[in-house]
Structure 1
């Protein structure tokens, strides 16, 4: 309609929107052609590349450029669209897959486009995400046939094929590239192709030849080290990375790789802490690194929240997943107040009995001077602090999640809670808001998420105050030394995170964590201690923890979370060497 009325700008907006939703639909391209035919200059002025250009306009302009005989420019724009949204089939159109397209393009230009695609997708690309990228692989096939002796094009084609799972094709192209134009880059591409094919020895040989082309390129040393490490040859890998560090102790790729490999070899936390320090002190690395996240991945408290245990959690889970709603519940020993409160919320009026209390009384905080979060009436735990504000509840609902990349990343994410009042953050520990409607989480898991992130939020409270006498330290220590609750775990996690991001507080935090863990071990020698296992993992995540406490924590972490009832008082401490 807009086209018939001569409103070409309006028509162009509609075409750009349509091509965004259906980039290969013939009717959309037919309308684009009609618009180009009527508008002056082939319609290019209707799709300008402004500062905040719409992706549909970029793609439409790419097709118009190709139709105007400027296919190279059009291909570059399609590659840019793919870089922005790699899972959309922007290039699945006839002109990109035409066998004669490379005849009209310079091989260098094609190679750059293919490298641009490689830089915007993971290595390898997940199988489900590969179809939209296959037009570029067909382009590579036609281009390597047309420009058979072009080393850069062959290498870039190999890199793309390797990412798309075409390992044998990638190896063939890489070998052709090395024969056509021997170079450092060609050998690197060949090394990667060999590595994907599982031929580690050939991969190392190719990368060594690449290093011989340019001994000062320390990134190749990191590549060799990574390849050796993947083959299980950690000592050889570290030897190569040490050579790189000897040349330049601050070269980011070498530093990241060195800490990751050393952690893989001995599992010492200090390597990860040193890597976090390096990342903080060198924010302008040559490119993004994921070594710290890779090492922390799926490790308790380093990158994920541990699940809660106990009879209460199991009872709630069975009710939700199997419909087994209890009519009464008998507990052998007390469970954390957060769990007991959750039980009342899920099953109002459920009769609950506790067989034995044990000593010391778990309803009493471990230090009498701390602020109370709970009030007890028998075994009924009620919040002792006010409800948080609506703003605080909404803010935590948007943020709380059970996983993070690593402790410094969790700290950075929690900065959005910096403007909340500390009373709101305390209130969140015992008055969690309901989870987002779209979130599928169990009640216990959600509550623990809220508590962990609320305590991380406390780290951002009044950061101008010196740590030793700060409000944030005092509040977290109060929660940590309160009754044995999930909130105490969250508070210790926040203290541990503070030590990761600020070397100046490490000695203090290590001392606090060691004292809190030793107290938990002492209690476990007398009765059940439900948060002992989690505190052990928190201790193992603490920078600069003393060796004796670390050894004790490793022994606890390797055991069941529940201490058998027949243990005699003091036996646990003797077993762990804490006399």
Structure 2
């Protein structure tokens, strides 16, 4: 029986001589103790995969960023929006007409704040170089363009049917990225335009008790959570196409290296998920994650705030094939102990 204590469950499975995946359980224990991504990859590569190996993989990643949950927003503007929403939920009549940021923050964070607070005037004191409004690489696909200081979605708004699919799939975080990939199949059946529209138009959360409760404390988290789910849908889009020349690969890479945003690490997360599923793509994905991490490091060295920095670092740490130097760079950049 699986309980809510992942470490105890793994020790029990590893000690059970009748359990056919004892080596996977032992590797999961080592991963949780040491963080060696090779152990996590070995679980995904079990020569006799079954539902139980997925459970062991999920236990290994329990309570770990990206493996089991999406990092919380780290922006000043979303923190302010959450505080105002919390006060309003308590019955306070709080109105925001003006706010100020010392530096620009990611597009999704700004739109999520406006969605919660209503129209307000925002003064952004600086757009330090490298300007986060400029894509790191020019590609065919994008979620945002900028009209001066404010981001504008590139794709049209998605239809209600697409929003319903998102609500059905994305109400919760995933037990693991592997199970998240499976759960995202209905999103993968949507059109590419609808998926890009979901990323930029930020549909409201589902009307469930979980999100009604979070609306009283951290309502911006829905917008943080939904984009990785949509990117898993992008990973499942047109899966018949060979990976190297596929639309899904091109879109995810373009988004990962587009304007700096929550979409960036959401797209990278989908690529890392692909790497766990497909050994052949691991070298490329590792290079992509490291390149995006290095771009963030360069921006910070130039004096610009990188609010997704810790999240990028956490992704690097769980990327198949990451090296010892990758680990050092990620921990320093993410300021991880």
TM-score by length of 1: 0.52
* Aligned residue in 1 for 2:181: 411
Structure 1 position 559, deviation (Å): 4.7
Is structure 2 residue 246 aligned with structure 1 residue 467? no
How has the CA–CA distance of structure 1 residues 471 and 350 changed in structure 2, closer, same or farther, with 3 Å as cutoff?
Answer: same
Structure 1 CA distance for aligned equivalents of residues 14 and 150 of structure 2: 58
* Aligned residue in 2 for 1:327: 97
* Aligned residue in 1 for 2:199: 429
SS of equivalent residue, structure 2 residue 21:
helix
Equivalent residues in 2 for 1:241-320, closer than 5 Å: 252-278=20-46, 281-284=47-50, 290-320=55-85
Q: Deviations over 1:62-120 (max 9, x none)?
A: xxxxxxxxxxxxxxxxxxxxxxxxxxxxxxxxxxxxxxxxxxxxxxxxxxxxxxxxxxx
TM-score by length of 2: 0.87
How has the CA–CA distance of structure 1 residues 291 and 417 changed in structure 2, closer, same or farther, with 3 Å as cutoff?
Answer: same
On the 8 A contact 1:365/1:483 being kept in 2, the answer is yes
Structure 1 position 289, deviation (Å): 7.2
Question: RMSD of the TM alignment (CA)?
Answer: 2.6
SS of equivalent residue, structure 2 residue 118:
coil
Structure 1 position 288, deviation (Å): 7.4
Structure 1 position 531, deviation (Å): 1.3
Structure 1 position 489, deviation (Å): 1.2
Equivalent residues in 2 for 1:142-157, closer than 5 Å: none
How has the CA–CA distance of structure 1 residues 335 and 402 changed in structure 2, closer, same or farther, with 3 Å as cutoff?
Answer: farther
How has the CA–CA distance of structure 1 residues 277 and 352 changed in structure 2, closer, same or farther, with 3 Å as cutoff?
Answer: same
Q: Which of these residues, 295, 305, 309, is aligned with residue 528 of structure 1?
A: 305
Q: Deviations over 1:277-327 (max 9, x none)?
A: 21xx42457x67733222211100010011001211111111111245433
Structure 1 position 352, deviation (Å): 1.0
Which structure carries more helix by proportion? 1
Unmatched tracts of structure 2, length 5 or more: 89-93
Corresponding residue pairs, total: 321
Structure 2 CA distance for aligned equivalents of residues 123 and 421 of structure 1: 39
Unmatched tracts of structure 1, length 5 or more: 1-120, 125-194, 196-221, 228-243, 561-579
On the 8 A contact 2:62/2:68 being kept in 1, the answer is yes
How has the CA–CA distance of structure 1 residues 289 and 310 changed in structure 2, closer, same or farther, with 3 Å as cutoff?
Answer: closer
* Aligned residue in 1 for 2:292: 516
Larger radius of gyration: 1
Structure 1 CA distance for aligned equivalents of residues 119 and 272 of structure 2: 38
Which protein, 1 or 2, shows the higher relative CO under an 8 Å CA cutoff with sep ≥ 6? 2
Structure 2 CA distance for aligned equivalents of residues 293 and 224 of structure 1: 14
